[in-house]
């Protein structure tokens, strides 16, 4: 009963917020950052910009959609089934889906789209393997035995529920996979496009569902976030998509809304397990207890973050809320360091430890990658240094460019690094937690974690997948392979309400516009 009352209260609390902005009518003007050099052509299978992907998302549809809870649901694929212990997935397409020119969608179109993605992802000579490059680790092959049936074979060792998340790729006409401006089956179609300036979308008269209330979407492109926010401030656009922390100054008011959206960018403090004393779990745990993540979020990122004690975001259906999750506790950090043998022998503020015949000082080198247009990580590094000093750890920060930090991580030539992971649509964290994998820059080795990752990749149904994900989070908390700070958030600033979806996500910020007003 208490849970039901709480849900009702949350709904009631949300109602006034949506009433603050004017409901959209038949058109919407959206502003976003987009550069001609990044998106010179309409290429939905090889996108390069997050904002433009939100436009693609209402033009090109997928077999599977991800609902507000993060769970795969049927879309262009009406049903699916799996055989061979999750190795083979069979999708049955809807009968009524057409491209914007009236041509019926067939399984051959889906196969051609996925084959194009896989070919690029598996091209050993390609320097850019595309946004969907991780599919090469999950999908082995795809076949279309008839117009309405698609058969997807999973890679060996990836016979699992995660295959469904890969089925969210955009579908284009089979003859246009390598052509600019291909046909789509979505609620809208692109009617005009000038790179770096604008993109016009109009309602697709051949869409398989009821026609949307919003008949036209005008996307206006800006070179940077400053220009975009100025445009919103002066009423040049109805809505602005931005990840700039300066958007935090805009609060929901009488005529405007500020709606947070989640991104896949996980901000982290990486710890090199091959570097003394970070090979000790107690030292790693102490570092996590020493960091006041909430203070970093509020002071540096202006609260535009989403909690993440582990790589699983707190708004995910897979998130496991652990009572023992780390919270800021410098006294606990000091106690763990003392248990590991660290004391301040000469009272200089830095802890020391007798190792063999000598004495080691708790001094760590910290490298940080800085975005030229945003100094949030440098500010974060300064706060981390102060917090570590408070528990007796001396850290010296060094600012590098992206290439330098990447090289340090690959070579394992670092002790602590502040950076970020761009997470995949598939909620599988083996790339960073399994021994020897490409994203395991920490040189983290755990037979228990490896076993859990391997088990996850054999879970064919939702229940087992969630159970193993829970165990992975528990193991992560115990081992402390690195420190999760939080996921970055962006803001949808809007004067016109155009959707009622509960969860706003990067790459699909127009999700639900086709159903608004019905």
Q: Shortest CA distance to 284 belongs to which of 267, 270, 268?
A: 270
Lowest mean pLDDT among 76-90, 153-167, 175-189, 315-329: 315-329
Is residue 374 scored above 70 in pLDDT?
no
Query: What angle do helix axes 376-389 and 293-300 make, rounded to 10 degrees?
Result: 150
pLDDT at 372: 66
Domain with CATH 3.40.190.10 in the chain: 19-261+491-515
Is residue 6 scored above 70 in pLDDT?
no
What CATH fold (topology level) applies to the domain 19-261+491-515?
D-Maltodextrin-Binding Protein; domain 2 (3.40.190)
**Mean pLDDT for all residues in the chain:** 93
pLDDT digits (tens, 9 = 90+) for 103-144: 999 999 999 999 999 999 999 999 999 999 999 999 999 999
Average confidence (pLDDT) over 383-389: 97
Report how far residue 153's alpha carbon sits from residue 140's, in angstroms, rounded to the nearest whole number: 5
Q: How far is CA 481 from the centre of its chain?
A: 20
Helix (H, G, I), strand (E, B) or coil at 100: coil
DSSP string computed for 473-495: HHHHHHH--EEEEEEEEEEEEES
Question: ∠ at Cα 444 (439, 450), nearest 5°?
Answer: 85
- For β-strands 216-222 and 198-203, DSSP reports them as antiparallel
Report how far residue 369's alpha carbon sits from residue 417's, in angstroms, rounded to the nearest whole number: 8
Q: Which helix (H) or strand (E) covers residue 416, if one does?
A: strand 416-422
Strands (E), 205-338: 216-222, 239-242, 257-271, 305-307
Alpha-carbon distances, residue 33 vs 197, 213, 358 (angstroms): 10, 26, 55
Report how far residue 319's alpha carbon sits from residue 321's, in angstroms, rounded to the nearest whole number: 6
Lowest mean pLDDT among 118-132, 208-222, 320-334, 446-460: 320-334
Which residue is listed with tokens 């004391």? 343
DSSP string computed for 161-222: TTHHHHTTS----GGGTTSSS----SSEEEEEEETTTEEEEEE-TT-SSPPPS--EEEEEEE
Report how far residue 114's alpha carbon sits from residue 144's, in angstroms, rounded to the nearest whole number: 11
- What residues pair up with 487 in beta bridges, in sequence order? 266, 306
Q: Could you tell me if 492 and 238 are in contact, meaning their C-beta atoms sit under 8 angstroms apart?
A: no
Is residue 7 scored above 90 in pLDDT?
no
Is residue 400 scored above 50 in pLDDT?
yes
Average confidence (pLDDT) over 96-107: 98
pLDDT at 166: 97
Other beta carbons less than 10 A from residue 243's beta carbon: 19
Is residue 24 scored above 50 in pLDDT?
yes
> What distance, in Å, lies between the first and last C-alpha atoms of the chain?
31
pLDDT at 306: 95
Is residue 371 scored above 90 in pLDDT?
no
Positive/negative CA dihedral, 332, 337, 343, 349: negative
Is residue 294 scored above 70 in pLDDT?
yes
Strands (E), 246-391: 257-271, 305-307, 352-355, 358-361, 363-369
Q: Shortest CA distance to 477 belongs to which of 262, 188, 272, 284?
A: 284
pLDDT at 319: 94
Backbone angles phi, psi at 341, to 5 degrees: 100, 10
Domain with CATH 3.10.105.10 in the chain: 263-490
Contacts of 13 (CB under 8 A, 6+ apart): none
72 torsion bin: left (phi>0), alpha (psi -120 to 50), beta (else) = beta
Q: Could you tell me if 270 and 364 are in contact, meaning their C-beta atoms sit under 8 angstroms apart?
A: no
pLDDT at 250: 84
CATH 3.10.105.10 fits 263-490, yes or no: yes
pLDDT at 15: 39
- What residues pair up with 354 in beta bridges, in sequence order? 359
């Amino acid at each position: 009963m208490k849970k039901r009352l709480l849900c009702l209260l949350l709904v009631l609390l949300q109602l006034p917020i949506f009433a603050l902005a004017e409901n959209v009518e038949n058109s919407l003007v959206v502003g976003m950052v987009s550069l001609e050099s990044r998106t010179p052509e309409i290429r939905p299978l090889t996108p390069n910009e997050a904002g433009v992907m939100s436009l693609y998302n209402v033009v090109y549809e997928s077999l599977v959609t991800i609902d507000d809870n993060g769970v795969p649901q049927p879309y262009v694929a009406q049903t699916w089934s799996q055989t061979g212990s999750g190795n083979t997935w069979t999708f049955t397409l809807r009968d009524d889906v057409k491209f914007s020119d009236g041509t019926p969608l067939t399984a051959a179109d889906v196969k051609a789209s996925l084959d194009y993605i896989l070919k690029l992802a598996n091209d050993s000579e390609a320097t850019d393997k595309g946004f969907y490059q991780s599919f090469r680790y999950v999908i082995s092959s795809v076949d279309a035995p008839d117009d309405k049936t698609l058969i997807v074979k999973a890679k060996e060792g990836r016979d699992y529920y995660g295959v469904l998340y890969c089925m969210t790729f955009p579908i284009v006409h089979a003859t246009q996979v390598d052509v600019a401006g291909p046909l789509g089956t979505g609620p809208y179609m692109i009617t005009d496009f000038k790179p770096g300036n604008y993109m016009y979308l109009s309602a697709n008269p051949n869409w398989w569902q009821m026609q949307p209330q919003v008949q036209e979407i005008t996307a206006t492109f800006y070179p940077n976030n400053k220009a975009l926010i100025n445009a919103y401030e002066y009423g040049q656009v109805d809505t602005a998509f931005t990840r700039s922390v300066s958007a935090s100054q805009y609060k929901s008011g009488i005529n405007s809304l500020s709606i947070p959206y989640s991104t896949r960018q996980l901000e982290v403090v990486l710890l090199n397990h091959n570097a003394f004393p970070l090979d000790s779990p107690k030292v790693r745990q102490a570092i996590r207890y020493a960091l006041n993540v909430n203070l970093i979020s509020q002071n540096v990122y202006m609260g535009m973050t989403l909690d993440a004690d582990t790589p699983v975001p707190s708004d995910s259906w897979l998130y496991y809320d652990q009572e023992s999750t780390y919270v800021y506790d410098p006294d606990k950090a000091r106690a763990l360091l003392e248990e590991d043998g660290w004391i301040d022998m000469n009272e200089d503020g830095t802890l020391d430890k007798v190792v063999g015949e000598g004495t080691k000082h708790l001094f760590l080198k910290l490298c940080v990658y800085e975005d030229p247009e945003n100094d949030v990580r440098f500010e974060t590094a300064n706060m981390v240094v102060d917090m570590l000093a408070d528990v007796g750890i001396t850290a010296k920060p060094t600012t590098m460019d992206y290439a330098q930090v990447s090289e340090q991580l690959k070579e394992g030539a670092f002790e602590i690094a502040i950076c970020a992971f761009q997470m995949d649509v598939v909620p599988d964290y083996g790339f960073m937690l399994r021994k020897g994998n490409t994203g395991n820059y920490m040189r983290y080795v755990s037979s228990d974690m490896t076993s859990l990752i391997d088990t996850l990749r054999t879970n064919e149904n939702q229940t087992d997948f969630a159970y193993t994900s829970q165990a992975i989070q528990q193991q992560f908390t115990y081992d402390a392979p690195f420190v999760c700070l939080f996921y970055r958030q962006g803001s949808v600033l809007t004067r016109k309400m155009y959707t009622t979806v509960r969860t706003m996500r990067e790459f699909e910020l127009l999700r639900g516009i086709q159903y608004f007003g019905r």
